[in-house]
Amino acid sequence: MIARIWHGWTTSENADVYESLLKTEIFSDIAQKNISGYKGIQLLRRIVNEETEFVTIMLFNSIEDVKEFAGENYTIAYVTAKDRKVLKRFDEHSQHYEVREKIEY
C-alpha cells in the first residue's frame, strides 16, 4: 500500500471554508475518478502560529494506482483552481511512502 501525503496552509479566516471545500467538492471529485486502487483519504488540521495547516493522506494499493490518479509525473501535487483561491501556500509535490504496517483497533 502507498500513502500519498500533501500539505497546504491557509489563513485562520479561510480554514473552515477550505475544510468545507475539501469535504464537499474536492474529495468527491477524487472519488469520482474511480481509481480501482484508491482506498480513501484522511484529512488532518492544526493551527500553527497565524496559519492553519491541512494534511491529506491518500491511500492506494500500488504506485501504479497513484500514477493512474496523478499521471506519470505523479509527485506533482493535485491542487485545483478552487484550492488555489483559498490556500495561502502549499506543497508543489506530494510525498509517497510505502505503508509497512497498519494497525487499527
* Residues forming beta bridges with residue 59, ordered by sequence position: 3, 40
The domain ranges of the chain are: 2-98
User: pLDDT digit string (tens) for 64-83?
Assistant: 999 999 999 999 999 999 99
Cα distance between residue 23 and residue 17, in whole Å: 10
pLDDT tens digits, one per residue of 25-38: 999 999 999 999 99
The CATH architecture assigned to 2-98 reads: 2-Layer Sandwich (3.30)
CB atoms within 10 A of CB 8: 22
Q: Give the pLDDT confidence of 49-63 residue by residue, as tens digits.
A: 999 999 999 999 999
Residue 39: per-residue pLDDT: 96
